[in-house]
Each structure stands twice: as C-alpha cells, then as structure tokens.
Amino acid sequence: MMANLDDRSMRERMLAGDLYVADDPELAERLLRAADLMDAFNATSARDPREQRRLLTELLGAVGEGTVIRPPLRVDYGSHLRIGARSFANFGLVALDVAPITIGDDVQIGTNVQLLTPTHPVDPELRRAKWEAAQPITIGDNVWLGSGAIVLPGVTIGENTVVGAGAVVTRDLPANVVAAGNPARVIRTIEPGTA
C-alpha cells in the first residue's frame, strides 16, 4: 500500500503535513547541513558566545534577541524552529522540527525537554514503506517547560502556562494553567500575582 502520490516533492509534502518519505536526496542534504551546524554549535566553547549565536542564527529559522540555548541541542532541520526573544533553553533540548516549532518570548525550557513533531502511520504497510508525517508545535509567551517534559506532535501550549517536570503533553493546554503528569493534565489555574 502506498500513500497518495502527486507531483509535489517530498519536502513540499513534509511541509504541508502530508505523508512523505524522509529518505529523499533533498531532505538528506538539509539534514546533513543541520547536523554540521548543530555539531559546530555543540562543540563551541561557552567562552565564545558570539560564535554560538552566529551558529544558532545560521541553524535556526529565527532566534530572538537575548535568547540563550545551552548545548547540547538536537534538531532535525533547524530551519523550522523559531524561538522568540529573551527565552532560555537549558542543556539537552531536543527539537525535532520536521514540522514548524514556534516558541514565544520569555520561555523557560528545563533540561532534557523534547519537542517532537514527527508522526508515523498506524498502518503497518505504510510504516514499513518508511512513510511519515509531522504536526507543528506552538509554545506561547512566558511558558515554563520543566525538565524532562515531552511535547507531542500538534500541541499548542498557551501563554504563561507551566508544564511540570517529566510531563508528557499529548493535547493542547490553555493559557495560565499548571499541568503535570502523563498524560499532562491541568492541575490548577494561575492567578496573576500568586506564587
């Protein structure tokens, strides 16, 4: 069984969120380019923040002013990851940006957080034939993702929301809540001015 084919390239299919085969020369070259830049960023000394910033700017789709990402960083393409101003990602961010990942301003990301856009078909024949797809992730302004949190494909997290350490976010979370657990559930609303 094969996915419906049309005249689009695999990259065009991927960016549209449709099934595509990742074993494609154009995609392979883009993955290698990202791997080269990612390796260079991860190997750059913390004493050379200008070079780290230069490499991030070349690797990622956008990096806001004052944003810091501590290596190691792992991405698929990099160019589909956009992060706003004054955000901070601690050690070990994995952002598999097959589909767009958009991170707002003033976001705090703990260690070993995973943002995972890829999906795979349930149909075993499509999976065996190496078809896959992806869904975007959006993280609003001033969100805090605790260490080890995992955000799954297609999820949007509203502004000011806190996701507890180790939570697995399988569905959208509204603004101004605290969510925790596996799967992540809203455990309380955040009232302005409260700790």
Determine the pLDDT at residue 195: 67
The yes-or-no answer on residue 120 being catalytic is yes
Question: 26, 51, 57, 120: which is the annotated catalytic residue?
Answer: 120
| Confidence (pTM) | 0.94
* First-to-last C-alpha distance (Å) of the chain: 54
pLDDT tens for residues 50-84? 999 999 999 999 999 999 999 999 999 999 999 99
75-111 confidence digits (pLDDT tens)? 999 999 999 999 999 999 999 999 999 999 999 999 9
Q: Greater confidence, 195 or 55?
A: 55
Q: How far is CA 97 from CA 1, 17, 80, 135, 139, in A?
A: 27, 12, 6, 9, 13
